[in-house]
Amino acid sequence: MDGTRAWVRDRFGEVLELVARRAPEVDRTAEFPEDVLRAYQEAGLMAAQVPPDLGGLGLTHLQFAAVVEEVARHSGALSLLLIVQAVGLLPILLRPEFPRRDEVLTRVTRSGALVGFALTEPPSGSDAYNMRTEVVQRDGAHRLTGVKYLITNAGRAHAYVVFTNFREPGLKHVAAYLVDADREGVRVGPANRLLGMRGIPTASIHFDDVAVDEADRIGGKNEGYVLAMDTLNISRPWIGAQAVGLARGALDTAMQFACQRKVMGEPLIDKQAFRFTLAEVAARIEAASALVERTSRMIDAGREDYTAQSAMCKLVATDTAMWACERALQMLGGPGCIAGNRAERAFRDVKITQIYEGTNEVQKILVARELVQAARARRPAAAGTAPELLT
C-alpha cells in the first residue's frame, strides 16, 4: 500500500494540499466546500471508478482506497465527499444493463453531477427489509412514496439511488430506482447538525407520489436488496481506509506536539510511557491498513468470497481508529481538547465510521454468519451425532 499511497500523493498532490488547507475552516463553519468539490471534479476524482471510455479515471479499488486514506488524513468530511459519490455510482456500475447507465455516467464525467445513496429510513437502518418506502402501480404508472433518513449530500446530489419496496397484487419485492432530484414530489428536509463530518450535508429526503418508470429501475424488480448488499460489501473497505486515514492524522498531530512539548525538562517524545503508547497505536494502525489493502486486492482480483473479509475490514479498521484517535487526544493532554486541532477533529469525525455502511455490530453478525456457513459446508453434521473431537 505504501507505493499506492506515494502514487496518490504524486498524482493528486495539489488536491491534497487544498484539502489540508481548507479542512479546519470547513469543519468550523460547516459550509459546503464548493472549491474542494471543483478541485475533485477537475482531477476526475468524482468519477474515480467510472471506466475511462466514459470519461472516468478507472481507478482500482485499492487506488481509490489509498485516495480516501490520504484525504482523510487531513479531513474525514472531505474524504466523505469522495466516498458518497463512489457509493452512489456503484449500483449503476454494477448493473451494466441499466437503461440510463451511460447517460448518468456521462453527466457525472462531463458536468460534474453528484449521485446520492438513499437506503436508510427512520424505522430501518441496518435492517433494510423494514423499509416503508414503496413503489406502487396505479393507473398504469409507477409512483414512489416514502422518507429516506440521514442521506449524505441530500440537497446537493442531482440524483439518488433509492431502495424501495415494489408492490404488486399479493407480492412485495425490494427494488432500486434512480430518481432525479428535480422531479416533482422530491423534497429535502432541513440539514442535520452533526458531531463530525461537518460541511457535507446530511438530511431526510421525502418522496411524495413521485413518478418513476421502468427505465429508472436499476436491475430487476426484486434485485434491490442484493444490489444494496453488494454495494455495501464493496464499499466497506473505503470506510476502513477513511478510518485509517483519520487515525494517521491524529497520530501525526500527537507526535508533532510531543516533539515540542517538554515535561520535567525533557521532550515528551523521549518519555518511555509516551513511546510505548505511540508504538502500540502505530502498530494497530498498520494492522488495520494491511486489512484494508488485503480486502481491496481481493475485490480487484474479482474474487467473490470477500463478504466476511469486507465486514472484518470495516469492523477492525474503524474500531482501531476510534481507539487510536482517543489515545492521540490523551497524548496531547489538555491541548487535545481544544476545538480546531486535527486530532480533535479526527476524534469527532471517526465515530460515524463505526456506524454508517452498517454498524459494527452488524459486521460481527455478517462475519459470524459467513464463518458458520463455511464451517457447515466443509463438515455437514448428521442429526443426533456427537461432534467429532480434535485429538
Residues marked as catalytic: 357
* 183 burial level (CB within 10 Å; 0-12, 13-18, 19+): middle
Which DSSP helix (H) or strand (E) runs through 68? helix 61-72
Q: How many CB atoms lie within 10 A of CB 17?
A: 12
Sign of CA dihedral 49, 78, 75, 39: positive
**Extended strands (E) in 192-338:** 202-212, 262-263, 266-267
| The Cα angle at residue 206 between residues 237 and 112, in degrees rounded to 5 | 55
Take residue 290 and report the three cell numbers written for it. 494491511
For residue 119, give the nearest of 151, 96, 143 by alpha carbon: 151
Contact 34, 41 (CB under 8 A): no
Residue with cell 428536509: 189
* Cα–Cα dist 52/59, whole Å: 9
CA distance 389 to 61: 42
* CB-based burial label for 97 (10 Å; 0-12, 13-18, 19+): exposed
At residue 353, what are phi and psi to the nearest 5 degrees? -65, -25
Task: Assign 197 to helix, strand or coil.
Answer: coil
C-alpha span between 204 and 190 (Å, rounded): 7
Report which of 26, 240, 53, 207 is spatially closest to residue 132, judged by C-alpha positions: 207
Q: Retrieve residue 182's grid coordinates.
A: 428535480
